[in-house]
Amino acid sequence: MLAARYYERGKPFVVEEIPVPEIGPDDVLVEVMAAGICGTDVHYRKGEFAPATTPLVIGHEGAGVIKKVGENVTHLKVGDHVIVDYIISCGYCKNCLEGNNNRCRNRKSIGHDVNGTFARYIKIPANNAIKIAEHIPFEWGAVIGCAVSTAFHAVNVSGLRKGDTVIIFGVGGVGLHAVMWAKFFGAGKIIAVDPVDSKLKVAREYGADITVNPLKEDTLEIVKRETDNWGADIAIECSGSAKAMEQAIRAVKGLNQFETGTIVSVGLQTEPFKIEYWGLREGWITVSGDHTRAELTQIIKLVENGKIALYKSISHSINLKEVNEGIELIESGKEHVERVVITQFT
């Protein structure tokens, strides 16, 4: 089968033929029908972050059809449509038992520790194959597995209350869905910040009330104006930019020196950023990590029942052989890119 593998920091992924994996008694073999390119994959390609092992089939967003089931698997069958849940958790540690399997003490990640979704077939534990209805497009299933669920988790952990003012920095694949979920959960005002005007246009379609290009406008002055100088209730940073992170911290601070809002860091920060002692007062900053399995199943139900639609979520479909070009497209900024999804594997 054809697969895209990581070999070396900062080098292109190698697209090559490798054997179809053999499954164990508790595994399933999934024929991947769609696999999304995530920002993490871009960081791997740039050499800013590295998988745990090499060589490794990269990719962690995926959806497809079950082709084989292990002898101990009873809840799935050949032909089922599934999403790949990339978080392999033990189910018995403290965090798993508390419902936080994303923080599993024995965690492994598909596409980081074990082979991922940028291949025709993938072997995964049966518990990591989450059924979806057959009317859901595979491309939607792929992005639900990370871009949509990561944004859901970020909004969830922010503690958003109806009527809150939310500012979102970076409206790419995850940031746009953060806008979508903030709107869904009742934010009173949503401010989207991005240096690419075409992304800001789409952010308005997702529910942003105010859009800001930081290369042309003063983001913090606009926050002051839109919040009567009290600051945003919640700032969600999705770009991975240290400068954006520092602005997010300042965006939740206003006239009242005794209170600040909440900052949620989602984008992978590859450079240091600064925070002053007085930057937070009775507020807090957290790093949002992935999603929980319970959240993933909630999202699937919302999509299956038509409460959430993902028609705008995928802007490009490519062949696996074009994976490096897909990453370059994401980085280029030459055209509007939301999620690039691999839909051809031959």
Is 304 part of a structural domain of the chain? no
Is 302 part of a structural domain of the chain? no
Residues 159 and 270 occupy one common structural domain = yes
Task: Say if CB 60 and CB 111 are below 8 A apart.
Answer: yes
Mean pLDDT of the chain: 93
pLDDT band at 151 (very low <50, low <70, confident <90, very high): very high
Tens-place pLDDT, residues 249-283: 999 998 887 888 999 999 877 777 877 777 777 78
CATH number of the domain bearing residue 117: 3.90.180.10
Is 45 part of a structural domain of the chain? yes
Residues 124 and 157 occupy one common structural domain = no
| Rounded Cα–Cα distance for residues 97 and 94 (Å) | 5
Is 21 part of a structural domain of the chain? yes
- Listed in sequence order, the DSSP H helices in 207-313 are 219-226, 242-251, 293-304
Nearest by Cα to 339 from 299, 304, 310: 310
Cα distances from 124 to residues 49, 130, 340, in angstroms, run 23, 11, 23
Residues 92 and 118 occupy one common structural domain = yes
Residues 81 and 196 occupy one common structural domain = no
Cα distances from 47 to residues 1, 6, 53, 270, 338, in angstroms, run 26, 11, 14, 11, 22
Better pLDDT: 10 or 232: 232
For residue 287, report the phi and psi dihedrals to the nearest 5 degrees. Answer: -100, 120
Is 92 part of a structural domain of the chain? yes
Pairing of strands 234-237, 165-169: parallel
Nearest by Cα to 142 from 48, 65, 50, 51: 65
| Rounded Cα–Cα distance for residues 116 and 60 (Å) | 5
> Percent of the chain having pLDDT more than 90?
77
Residues 30 and 110 occupy one common structural domain = yes
Lowest mean pLDDT among 89-103, 105-119, 330-344: 330-344
CATH number of the domain bearing residue 258: 3.40.50.720
Residues 160 and 46 occupy one common structural domain = no
- pTM summary value: 0.92
Residues 182 and 226 occupy one common structural domain = yes
**Domain boundaries, position 269:** 149-287
Is 141 part of a structural domain of the chain? no
Residues 153 and 230 occupy one common structural domain = yes
Count of domains forming the chain? 2
Residues 86 and 195 occupy one common structural domain = no
Q: What is the pLDDT of residue 35?
A: 97
pLDDT band at 181 (very low <50, low <70, confident <90, very high): very high
Tens-place pLDDT, residues 74-99: 999 999 999 999 999 999 999 999 99
Residues 221 and 333 occupy one common structural domain = no
Is 213 part of a structural domain of the chain? yes
Q: What is the pLDDT of residue 272?
A: 79
| DSSP per position, 78-126 | TT-EEEE--EE--SSSHHHHTT-GGG-TT-EEBTTTB--SSBSEEEEEG
Is 212 part of a structural domain of the chain? yes
Residues 126 and 10 occupy one common structural domain = yes
| Rounded Cα–Cα distance for residues 255 and 229 (Å) | 6
Residues 156 and 258 occupy one common structural domain = yes
Q: What is the pLDDT of residue 333?
A: 64
Phi-psi region of 202 (alpha: psi -120 to 50; beta: other; left: phi over 0): alpha
DSSP β-bridge partners for residue 260: 253
Residue 21 has pLDDT above 70, yes or no: yes
